[in-house]
């Protein structure tokens, strides 16, 4: 028997949306290609929102929510989609955000990602960082990266996630997927254990604290390929974030460690397509060559931008370069490029007043 919330989640998938927002005191909202639209439905009462969510929350998540005012878990509607769920408490009662996770894992080619990513993923050890703000498509890119390794290599891939998002099937690799809360208390604990589980590749859903980052660097140095995410924008800020987590006295040691173990930093933004039929990823890519390694070791991360500019032949690119290529290919508008650009002055001349999109601020639903 379907749960009452399923009708809204079916609408998200049918519309091609990414998120469903349920917040007591408001009608449901769907995020579609980056913009949030209200569903034509009444305002949800506090009791109604509570009942919707408690109907699908596992008992352990109910206890966690009642203890700390929030919980993260995965919810699945068979033959439709999986959803990453964050439930939280707010002034008017309960709220939740459901992120749709497609059942099909798209390949690197299908996502239109640069070919250099394949060379990066063929490395046998080291640290690959996939960074970007929330909602920038990191999970989709990570799933494609894991699937590429799963297809091309023979080994053991271990993922540590909170919660598990994309479900991977064994191809040429054995895949073990562990969920924080269900299979381990913390990322650090799961990573400690992972080092004894003979992995060739470890995917870390998020590097949140000093211990997790230290263990990830250690694993990368000891012959494991580690793929991890950070909520940062740009290569330089990602490097700084890792180093700044450590106490000042350890900085030289961490810089040296990172300068030798880092493989690449892939920073991602999602940009609305010019035809309004979805979004496309714009990637900044930094590869760790001799110049990058030296800059990291010496703590001169402000110089990384210059290396990115000069590293195009090796496959490096700045975010603004990626945006310009998408714009030249007529995939994104000048306005969208300007909004996402780092150096906005360079894109000022490409701005236009053309707007695409759903003229309505509401989305129809048959739910009642």
CA pair distance 353, 97, nearest whole angstrom: 32
Q: So what's the pLDDT on residue 181?
A: 86
Residue range 126-143: average pLDDT? 95
Q: Which residues pair with 131 in a beta bridge?
A: 230, 267
Q: What is the pLDDT of residue 331?
A: 96
Q: What is the pLDDT of residues 284-322, one digit of tens each?
A: 999 999 999 999 999 999 999 999 999 999 999 999 999
* Least confidently predicted of 77-86, 153-162, 345-354: 345-354
CATH code: domain of residue 218: 3.40.50.300
Looking at the structure, do residues 169 and 200 belong to the same domain, yes or no? yes
Q: Are residues 176 and 81 in the same domain?
A: no
Note whether 262 and 127 are within 8 A (CB).
Answer: yes
Same domain, 193 and 333: yes
What is the rounded distance in angstroms from the CA atom of residue 215 to the CA atom of residue 211? Answer: 6
| Number of folded domains that form the chain | 2
Residues 175 and 295 in one domain: yes
Say how far apart CA 347 and CA 284 lie, in whole Å. 17
Is there a domain that residue 109 lies in? no
Higher pLDDT, 355 or 138: 138
**SS3 readout for 238-282:** HHHHHHHCCCHHHHHHHHHHHHHHEEEEEEEEEEECCCCCCEEEE
151 and 34 in a common domain: no
CATH number, domain containing residue 22:
3.30.450.90
Residue 321 lies in a domain: yes
Over the stretch 147-170, which tens digit does the pLDDT of each residue have?
Answer: 999 999 999 999 999 999 999 999
Whether 88 and 195 map to the same domain: the answer is no
Last residue of a domain, one of 79, 103, 127: 103
Do 67 and 214 lie in one domain? The reply is no
CA 161 to chain centre: 11
Indicate if the alpha-carbon torsion angle 249, 251, 257, 261 is positive or negative. positive
- Statement to judge: residues 164 and 300 lie in one domain: yes
- Same domain for 176 and 259: yes
Classify residue 344: in a domain, yes or no. yes
pLDDT in tens, 93-111: 999 999 999 888 999 999 9
Q: Among 49, 68, 103, which residue terminates a domain?
A: 103
223/165 same-domain check:
yes
Q: Give residue 123's domain range.
A: 116-350
Q: In terms of pTM, does the model score above 0.85?
A: yes
**166-198, pLDDT tens digit by residue?**
999 999 999 999 999 889 999 999 999 999 999
Q: Is the pLDDT assigned to residue 360 strictly greater than 80?
A: no
């Amino acid at each position: 028997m379907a749960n009452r919330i399923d009708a809204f989640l079916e609408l998200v998938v049918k519309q091609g949306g990414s998120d469903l927002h349920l917040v007591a005191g408001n009608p449901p909202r769907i995020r579609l290609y980056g913009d949030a639209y209200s569903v034509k439905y009444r305002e949800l009462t506090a009791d109604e929102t509570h009942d919707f969510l408690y109907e699908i929350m596992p008992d352990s998540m109910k206890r966690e929510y009642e203890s700390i005012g929030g919980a993260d878990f995965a919810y699945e509607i068979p033959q439709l989609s999986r959803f990453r769920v964050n439930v939280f408490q707010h002034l008017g009662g309960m709220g939740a955000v459901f992120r749709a996770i497609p059942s099909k894992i798209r390949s690197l080619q299908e996502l239109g990602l640069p070919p250099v990513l394949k060379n990066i993923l063929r490395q046998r050890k080291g640290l690959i960082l996939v960074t970007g703000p929330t909602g920038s498509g990191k999970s989709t890119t990570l799933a494609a990266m894991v699937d590429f390794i799963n297809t091309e290599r023979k080994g053991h891939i271990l993922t540590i996630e909170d919660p598990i998002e994309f479900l991977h099937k064994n191809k040429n690799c054995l895949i073990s997927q562990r969920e924080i809360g269900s299979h381990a208390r913390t990322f650090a604990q799961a990573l400690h254990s992972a080092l004894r589980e003979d992995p060739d590749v470890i995917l870390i859903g998020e590097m949140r604290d000093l211990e997790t980052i230290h263990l990830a660097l250690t694993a990368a140095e000891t012959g494991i390929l580690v793929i991890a995410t950070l909520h940062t924008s740009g290569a330089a800020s990602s490097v700084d974030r890792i180093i700044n987590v450590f106490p000042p006295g350890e900085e030289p040691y961490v810089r040296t460690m990172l300068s030798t173990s880092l493989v690449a930093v892939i920073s991602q933004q999602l940009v609305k397509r010019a035809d309004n039929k979805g979004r496309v990823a714009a990637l900044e890519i930094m590869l760790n060559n001799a110049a990058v390694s030296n800059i990291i070791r010496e703590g001169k991360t402000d110089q990384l931008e210059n290396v990115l500019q000069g590293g195009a032949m090796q496959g490096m690119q700045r975010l603004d370069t990626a945006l310009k290529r998408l714009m030249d290919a007529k995939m994104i508008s000048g306005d969208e490029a300007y909004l996402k650009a780092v150096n906005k002055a360079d894109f000022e001349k490409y701005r236009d007043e053309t707007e695409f999109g759903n003229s309505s601020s509401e989305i129809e639903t048959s739910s009642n």
